[in-house]
Amino acid sequence: MGKKLLAAGQLADALSHFHAAVDGDSKNYMAYYRRATVYLAMGKSKSALPDLSKVIELKPDFTAARLQRGNILLKQGNLDEAEGDFKKVLKSGPSAKEEAEAKTLLMKSDEIQRLVARAHGEFARKDYASATATLDAVIETCAWDVASRELRAECFVQLGEMGKAIGDLKATSKLKNDNTQAFYQLSTIYYQLGDHDMSLSEVRECLKLDPDHKLCFSHYKQVKKLNKQILSAEELIQQQRYGDAAGKYESVMKTEPHVSHYTRQARERICHCLSQDKRATEAITLCSKVLKSDPHNVNALKDRAEAFVQDEQYDEAIRDYESAREHSENDRQIKEGLERAQKLLKQSQKRDYYKILGVKRSAQKKEIVKAYRKLALQWHPDNFQDPEEKKRAEKKFIDIAQAKEVLSDPEKRSKFDQGEDPLDPESQQGGGHHHFHGGWDSFQGFNPFGSGPFNFKFNHN
């Protein structure tokens, strides 16, 4: 029944029947051989190996089983044992086909022996590139050779090719039981690369195998602490608690001062926090440090651009947004930020209502009204007798009143902050009419201090 299921490709069912056959007759070498065949068909060579050894123990002249075992041992890099099997096949009077196969595999094993010796010599001379090339040839035949993969992983580490090192170490963690060393190495590589999540995952695998593993436990505490700080900082950013988040990223740099990735990441995120917290000058300084070492950092470019906008350095903001766009063409935030900076630049070349009133862009309404009243007193035309000075004061007074109209109205102020002048017909869709556009005559009798006719007296005793 097991043979029928195997022929039909029903491997799991076939395996169950061969288990029963082995249990029913532990001396039946064919039952072990058939079960090994199923294991090999399922890609479970490690499970097949004990069964093939049992077959050879029960029937030493079974050349097919010996050839299969030698082939598995060769792939595992157990070259001496593999050669032993191939030589015994040749001494046992095999069929022509088996003899040819055994000779080919024996030659291949001899070649691999020489390549392994060469690779170790190249590694000892620190010729890691040559050692890697030699080990490539070894692993092409010995795909399950843990030692060669570990050596190649170390070569990749020395060459700075961490991704390839990870590939080999992941393979060895599966090929070798309880391979705590592989998990530890994987965790430390991920940590150096700045992937603290994967580092934590791999070191946990090490501790599952050996809870008392000193290196893994020590590394686990470090990674867990760093991971917790970063997650906490990101949560604070989500909550828009930018000052607290910046402080948490300062702690990240203290926790891990030796891995440059975490220092760069922390500075980049602090730069973001400062720009979002409207601390423009500090943000520009820190973002510039980030960009000095990483000129194409899109996040830092966006954050510095935003800080430049806050600092009214619109040309610089436009340059940063354009540079960011070159490296991230489809970023909507960059597109909108660039359009806003361009509008604000154009606007700054016309009228800036904040500058007219002498207030910051973050000013509250009461500060705006206070500044307006002070300037209205100072520049009211009734204060001036000279015709030229009066004319200049009239224009200044109109500007002050228009600034107050825009900045004290939330809707108009929002439009202005987005780069649109709500009192400029050219920037309005379909035009528009504003009572301030009529000149000084429109202000005759206008009282900046309340409703009703303007009746403030400027006589001074």
Mean pLDDT of 358-379: 91
What does the pLDDT read at residue 361?
85
**Are both 2-116 and 176-348 of the same fold?**
yes
Identify whether the C-beta of residue 302 lies closer than 8 Å to the C-beta of residue 337.
Answer: yes
In tens, the pLDDT along 250-272 reads: 999 999 999 989 999 999 999 99
Q: Above 80 in pLDDT, residue 415? A: yes
**Interaxial angle between packed helices 79-91 and 96-124, expressed in degrees from 0 to 180 and rounded to the nearest 10:** 160
User: What is the three-class DSSP state of 325?
Assistant: helix
Where residue 426 falls among pLDDT bands split at 50, 70, 90?
low
Per-residue burial over 21-57, b if 16 or more Cβ lie within 10 Å, else e, is bbeeeeeebbbbbbbbbbbbeeeebeebbebbebbbe
Where residue 427 falls among pLDDT bands split at 50, 70, 90?
low
Assigned token pair, 199: 């580092």
CATH number, domain 2-116, options 3.40.50.300, 3.40.50.80, 1.25.40.10, 3.20.20.80: 1.25.40.10
Rg (CA), the chain: 39
Task: Give the domain ranges of the chain.
Answer: 2-116, 176-348, 353-443
pTM, 2 dp? 0.69
**How would CATH label the architecture of 353-443?**
Orthogonal Bundle (1.10)
Which of 17-26, 262-271, 300-309, 342-351 shows the lowest per-residue confidence on average (mean pLDDT)? Answer: 342-351
Assigned token pair, 451: 């409703």
In tens, the pLDDT along 164-177 reads: 999 999 999 999 98
Assigned token pair, 328: 């991230």
Identify whether the C-beta of residue 290 lies closer than 8 Å to the C-beta of residue 264.
Answer: yes
CATH class of 176-348: mainly alpha
Cα 329 to Cα 316, 322, 324, 358, distances in angstroms: 19, 10, 8, 37
Mean pLDDT of 425-446: 50
Q: What is the DSSP letter of 441?
A: G
What does the pLDDT read at residue 456?
40
